[in-house]
Amino acid sequence: MLRLNNSILSCFLLFVATSCLAAEKGYSKADPEALKHWQDMRFGMFIHWGPVSLTGHEIGWSRGRQTPIDKYDQLYKQFNPTEFNADQWVRIAAEAGMKYIVITSKHHDGFSLWPSQYTDYNIANTPFKRDVLRELAQACEKYNVMFCTYYSVCDWYHPDYPLGSPAGKSKKTKHNMPRYFEYIKNQTKELIDNYGPLGLMWLDGEWEKPWTREYGNELYAFLKQVQPTLVINNRVSKGRRGMAGITKQPHLNAGDFDTPEQEIGGFNRDRPWETNMTICQQWAWKPNDKMKSLKECIQILLHTVGGDGNMLFNVGPMPNGQIEPRQVERLKEMGDWLKKYGNTVYGTRGGPFKPGKWGASTCKDNKIHLFIMNWPKEGPLQLPALSMKITDVAVKTGGTLKVNRTKEMIELNVPKDNRDPIATVIELTVDGKAFEIQPVKRN
């Protein structure tokens, strides 16, 4: 009996010890200040670009599919985006209200958008020759935009990486994953040394078999050592579930934030997250790609920040180096909206009313911002009562506001003509810190 108890006890102690060890190893230990700084930004620009843009096909899965591998790998010899202007790109981002940019330094196709000393398959060997990342990093400094890099840990081009095309359809006979891992460390360090300090290192391609949790956690620790303030997404390691992008066992898998892809993340204040989404359908440029309306763009942004997430909104510049004028126009419209209502987005937290079909909310200090996007067919919008006293109510998008408060409900109504087709913005003032209110859900 005693012996049994002992073995149960030692099992338990072993469990506690390994859990502590995992915690001590520092998985997901982001620098709190750097993490908050990035979260407060709420809105960033994702940029997918490279020689693949010449074909109009997708950067993430056209090598060995739409374009035969040997042809794909020669594209860089024609990559000459003479109209590229880093200043213009960063100004477009800044005027859209975006506070950071994340550019594909290297995607799954293995091409390096900077003159890396570790491979010849890079921008210096294109007819263009210029260091795109250097120019962008400098422009970011000028416009006070945080410069960040995307980097794919899968690399179908590199001879040491075992796989050669999407879904492992082609494989390499001579591969050397440990040596390829050194290549990753060298390149990511080179990015930090040359263009850092970086805001984020946005890794991707981690779902492929050759990438292991061990590699991921080691890369995380390595990068934090090179730049302690670096914020790293969850795709550095394993454990991400589907396109919803949530890491299943964050105590085992490194990463500072979750990454829902092409969908809006669910309300979550416990773990930072960032939705990544395209302005059109494709990540890389595609001619005549279907573009989202302004209403969709703003509503996606508001549902995201309302769930306490960031939004990384993607453009795929054209092979000549320009961002499509219609996309620039759309981004400018988003910026115009944010010029008016940016205080309801930047530096806020999601809630306390959880997002739903009706709309979303954010809060900061003693203010709650409601974004009403769908009114009931008849009568006022009813929201559940809060655990804090509301001292003032105002409609920011114009018109009159009728408020009725009961014990269970806050009823709000704005005349139909005064409702904003994108979002009617209402500000509630409470007599305390709005973030401390227990989040509530409208049924």
The site for ligand H79 (CB under 6 A) is made up of 59-60, 204, 207, 242-243, 261, 276, 283
Q: Which of 409, 44, 358, 75 is nearest to 231 (CA)?
A: 44
Q: Which of 338, 347, 340 is nearest to 313 (CA)?
A: 338
CB closer to ligand H79, 59 vs 318? 59
Measured N-to-C along each axis, helices 177-195 and 132-143 cross at an angle, to the nearest 10 degrees, of 40
CB closer to ligand H79, 12 vs 207? 207
CB closer to ligand H79, 15 vs 207? 207
**Smallest separation (angstroms) from ligand H79 to the CB of 211:** 11
**Smallest separation (angstroms) from ligand H79 to the CB of 242:** 5
Q: Which of 269, 260, 198 is nearest to 234 (CA)?
A: 260
CB closer to ligand H79, 169 vs 339? 169
**Smallest separation (angstroms) from ligand H79 to the CB of 204:** 5
Q: What is the 3-state secondary structure (H, E, C) of 268-297?
A: CCCCCEEEEEECCCCCCCCCCCCCCCHHHH
What whole-number distance in Å separates Cα of residue 215 and Cα of residue 202? 16
Cα–Cα distances (Å) from 412 to 235, 361, 419, 420, 442, in that order, read 42, 14, 12, 14, 13
Residue 232 near residue 179 (C-beta atoms within 8 A): no
CB closer to ligand H79, 244 vs 403? 244
Phi, psi of 325 (to 5 degrees): -55, -40
CB closer to ligand H79, 139 vs 203? 203
Q: Across-strand partners of 240?
A: 247
Beta pairing, strands 231-232 & 200-204? parallel
Place of tokens 């920011």: 396
What whole-number distance in Å separates Cα of residue 180 and Cα of residue 161? 6
What whole-number distance in Å separates Cα of residue 426 and Cα of residue 360? 11
**Smallest separation (angstroms) from ligand H79 to the CB of 137:** 20
CB closer to ligand H79, 261 vs 388? 261
Q: What is the 3-state secondary structure (H, E, C) of 65-123?
A: CCECHHHHCCHHHHCCCCCCCHHHHHHHHHHCCCCEEEEEEECCCCCECCCCCCCCCEH
CB closer to ligand H79, 263 vs 420? 263
**Smallest separation (angstroms) from ligand H79 to the CB of 104:** 7
| Alpha-carbon torsion angle 260, 265, 266, 271, nearest 10 | 70
Computed from CA positions of residues 340, 343, 373, 393, in that sequence, does the dihedral angle turn out positive or negative? negative
Count other C-beta atoms under 10 Å from residue 26's C-beta.
Answer: 13
**Smallest separation (angstroms) from ligand H79 to the CB of 121:** 18
CB closer to ligand H79, 3 vs 290? 290
**Smallest separation (angstroms) from ligand H79 to the CB of 90:** 20
CB closer to ligand H79, 247 vs 361? 247
**Smallest separation (angstroms) from ligand H79 to the CB of 281:** 12
Residue 306 near residue 362 (C-beta atoms within 8 A): yes
Chain residue whose CB lies nearest ligand H79: 60
What whole-number distance in Å separates Cα of residue 340 and Cα of residue 385? 28
CB closer to ligand H79, 264 vs 373? 264
**Smallest separation (angstroms) from ligand H79 to the CB of 152:** 8
CB closer to ligand H79, 264 vs 425? 264
What whole-number distance in Å separates Cα of residue 108 and Cα of residue 16? 39
